[in-house]
Amino acid sequence: MRNCLLTILCLLFAAALAAVTYSDSLLESAIAGDAAAQYQIGTCYQDGLGVEKDPVAAVHWYTLAAEQGHAGAQNNLGYCYYTGDGVDEDKSAAVQWFRKAANQGLAAAQYSLGLCYKNGSGTVKNTREALKWLQLAAESGHARSLYLIGQLYYYGDGIVQDKAEALKWTRRAADRNSVEAMLFLARESEQAEKPDLSDAFRWYRKASDLGDAQARYYLGRCYETGSGVKKDTREALRLYRLAADASNADAAYRLARAYADGNLVDEDSAAFLEWLEKAAQWGQRDAQFALGKMYQHGEQVETDPELAAFWFLEAASRNHPTAQYEIGICYAFGDGVQENAYEALFWLSLANAYGDPDAAQARELLVSEFTTQDLENNYARVSQWLAEHPQ
């Protein structure tokens, strides 16, 4: 699920008037007290529409319009307080402004308020209150609210779990062109007790037709493997390229592997390294781990322990168990990083928890060096990581 900040950021853009641009006449109306003009001037400063971006000025104009009861300004002002954009971050104030706009029926604000209740941001977590506001937004056809209601029912997050109800809401979101809903439905069809690969392919294709890079990667995978459609490696390669050209890390990594193996294209070591580096830079953990191993052993690149440790740590931070083992060993021996037994124990403990076959023995060799308090501190740190980063 996308994080809360990015989601609310999207709401600001959705609430803004796309055709608005800064002008002297608009400014004159705003100065004269016209709430709609004040709101529009705020969006101009927020998004740099005909004027240099100025978040502080945006907050000023949003506040003037919001105090006159302009729902769009109230919603955008809530966003500014939520993110600290142009004003000191104050999630409680954000909730107050979201509520004012939500009470006027603005779907974006109803969604924002529901999300705050769901996450306990700026208010006490209350799933039923969250559901109430999300359903109000959904009544206006707000796709993200439809999808999130589906997620609440699917996982039983504060309400009785009901997967049939969840899929009903998710399909409604997909019908409103929600790409995340389409991808969710596709994965559900793939992972069902009786998989429906044709249905999964259908949802991936619909999302791909909307231009989503991740959907194009998944659709390429369908064509490559013949999952739900006749196998077509040429089409798979085309889709991987489209997705990778849009900076999709999974597609870039798949292209790297293709150039290494020669199974979709002719082998090309230079192209392999180019796409592997892009995938790693874009956060693909398998690519990061592979690049770390290359720098560790000097395969197609010069041996560089520091770069090896850097990429192991990047992959380890994304829950790659073997990378967690490798960075643990790096810390244990000071290979590419400053020797640090505490960090070594932490990463080896994580690798062991996530099932790396070599981590347990390596961890046991370190345990005797620590006090009982040290081990308890490490256990607490590992437990917190596991809770925050489920595999």
Tell whether 372 is covered by a domain.
yes
Residues 29 and 162 in one domain: yes
Q: Which domain holds residue 48?
A: 1-173
Instruction: Count CB neighbours of 94 within 10 A.
Output: 27
Q: 295 with 317: CB under 8 angstroms?
A: no
For the chain, the farthest-separated pair of C-alpha atoms sits apart, in whole angstroms, at 75
Whether 210 and 181 have beta carbons less than 8 Å apart is answered as: no
Together in a domain, 149 and 18 = yes
DSSP, collapsed to helix, strand or coil, labels residue 355 as: coil
Counting every residue written for the chain, the total comes to 391
269 CB-contact burial (10 Å; exposed 0-12 / middle 13-18 / buried 19+): exposed
Answer yes or no: are the C-beta atoms of 31 and 25 closer than 8 Å.
no
Task: Convert 240-250 to b/e letters by CB count within 10 Å (16 or more is b).
Answer: bbbbbeeebbb
Can you give the CATH number for the domain in which 80 is found?
Answer: 1.25.40.10
Residue 253 lies in a domain: no
For residues 166 and 27, state if they share a domain: yes
Q: Is 254 within a domain? A: no
Same structural domain, 153 and 7 = yes
Q: Of 173, 204, 227, which residue constitutes the final position of a domain?
A: 173
pTM equals: 0.85
- What distance in Å separates the CA atoms of residue 82 and residue 6, rounded to the nearest whole number? 11
In a domain, 312, yes or no: yes
Domain endpoint, select from 141, 173, 205: 173
Compute φ and ψ for 271, nearest 5 degrees.
-65, -35
CA–CA dist 90, 84 (Å, integer): 7
**Which of 191, 212, 189, 214 shows the shortest CA–CA distance to 202?**
189
DSSP 166: H
Let me know if residue 350 belongs to a domain. Answer: yes
Q: Is 335 helix (H, G, I), strand (E, B) or coil?
A: coil
Same domain, 304 and 158: no
pLDDT given for residue 2 in this prediction? 40
Domain count for the chain, please give it.
2
Q: Residue 106 is which amino acid? A: L
Continuous segment of H or E residues that includes residue 316: helix 305-317
Q: Is residue 289 part of a domain?
A: no
- pLDDT tens digits for the chain (391 residues)? 444 444 544 444 444 455 678 889 999 999 999 999 999 999 999 999 999 999 999 999 999 999 999 999 999 999 999 999 999 999 999 999 999 999 999 999 999 999 999 999 999 999 999 999 999 999 999 999 999 999 999 999 889 999 999 999 999 999 999 999 999 999 999 999 999 999 999 999 999 999 999 999 999 999 999 999 999 999 999 999 999 999 999 999 999 999 999 989 999 999 999 999 999 999 999 999 999 999 999 999 999 999 999 999 999 999 999 999 999 999 999 999 999 999 999 999 999 999 999 999 999 999 998 999 999 999 999 999 999 988 7
- Identify the CA nearest to 302 among candidates 312, 291, 311: 291
Asked, for residue 210, whether it belongs to a domain, the answer is no
* Cα angle value 193/214/282 (rounded, 5°): 125
Looking at residue 18, what is its pLDDT?
52
Who's near 174: CB < 8 A, 6+ residues apart? 181, 182, 185, 203, 206
User: Of all helices (H) and strands (E), which one includes residue 205?
Assistant: helix 197-209
Residue 252 lies in a domain: no
